[in-house]
Amino acid sequence: MPRDKYGWQPAKVELFKRRLTIQQVAEKIGVPERHLRNALAGKTYPMPEVRKGLPRLLDVPLSDLFCAEMLEESYDPRKASAVRS
């Protein structure tokens, strides 16, 4: 597993404030829990479903949920989109 280059993302704090678990959110937006957990930890770039579903669910702009560096790269399922150290 790659080192978490970017650390916990602001979305994690938002979920905590709203008392939502990663599992609950993953189910609501239709993504694997493991992917969401890794994206929130800064270990993998968020897949398109996260980029669309999370802001919609939380009513918060995407740019407030992830750092700019995490949003610069696109999710590539062939590479599992791991963040490079």
Exposure string over 34-43, b if 16+ CB within 10 A, otherwise e: ebbbbbbbbb
pLDDT at position 2 is 44
Quickly tell me which residue has 């937006």 as its tokens: 29
pLDDT at position 80 is 60
pLDDT at position 56 is 98
pLDDT < 50 regions, the chain: 1-2, 85
Name the pTM for this structure. Answer: 0.85
Q: For residues 22 and 35, give the distance between their C-alpha atoms in angstroms, rounded to a whole number.
A: 10
